[in-house]
Structure 1
Amino acid sequence: MKKAREKATRKYEEKEATPLIVEEPGEAYLTLPAAHTVAMLGMQKNAQFRSVSSDNDFIELIREGVPKEAMNNLMHKTGITNTEMASITHTSDRTLRRYESGDRLPQEQSERVIELARLYSRGSEVLGGLDYFKDWMSTKLIPLGDKRPKEFLDTSLGIDLLMKTLGRIEHGVFA
């Protein structure tokens, strides 16, 4: 028994003595999430979106206004209806339909479109696919007060809450 304890102690001490070296993945760390978000918007071929590599770049896009085409692509990929998008962006369904594909959305609506694209991109990454994430978005969850995640999309704090919930899921904390 004493030998087993000594052996376990030695293994623990050896493990603790090994220095932990954590290296940042460099450029891939910054470009991967942005690239996924741009893809979620379907804007990979748009020159304005090709240079996006960080959140700072998204801030400039939001200020300039996101093309309506990006919102349409996002709605198509995520299954968000026109009525739902109008509610999420705090505008009317009629106003959204009036925009033409070349038009730029106002800053507030552009920001919400980017937030949604980031959320759906992150969700599909964490849950293993967009279809799984879309199912999750429509499922009542106890940690969210027995509400569907989709019910939180109309506020930035709600989207932030969902991002944090995805982070907990990714790290194995489900409640």
Structure 2
Amino acid sequence: MLGPLGGDTRASATATTSTSAGASVLGPPPAVLRGRGDLTLVVGLGSDAVAAARTLAAAIGDAEVRPGGCSRAAAPRVDDRRGALRARADGVRRDRPIVAAFGMARGASEVPELTEGLAGIEPDQVWVAVDASRKESDTAEWVRAIDAVLAVDGMLVTGTALTATPDSVRELGIPIGWLDGTRVGIG
């Protein structure tokens, strides 16, 4: 069984309570950030990051999506501190929040080489794009690696219809904001 991620600074956002059946219930997901120049980072494997960032941007309303990592798009990139500062400045100037889609090509093994760039982004909020149909131990490994660099605030989950164990993502101990494109809880 996967335990909650270590080093949690989001105690109220990820507080758990036990139900009568012994299952763990996470607190509500964080509210999406809508302010001028707010920078939300969405990290995921491959194209999962872009799809999740678009979902988050649509929920925000007038947010701009920018690529990072292995994500590709015809927009200025957010791969490091400099890209993040440009994105924030553009967001302030255009009066909109920015959502950066940071794709990873190799998962947890890639995080050590990305650590400096990811930490330099200093996002206001971090979400992970998790596909519930992927092997849960592999997912837990890369999510823990990202959480060790940037405290993860919430998850956008897809692929629940493709697995017999769709609730296994809850064992990551991170609030779920979206399940297969549908908003969950508040935020």
Q: Please, what TM-score do these two structures have when normalized by structure 1?
A: 0.30
Q: Which has the higher strand share?
A: 2
Query: Which of the pair is proportionally richer in helix?
Result: 1
Work out which of the two has the higher radius of gyration on C-alpha atoms and give 1 or 2.
1
Superposition TM-score, scaled by structure 2 size: 0.28
State the structure with bigger RCO (CA 8 A, min sep 6), 1 or 2.
2
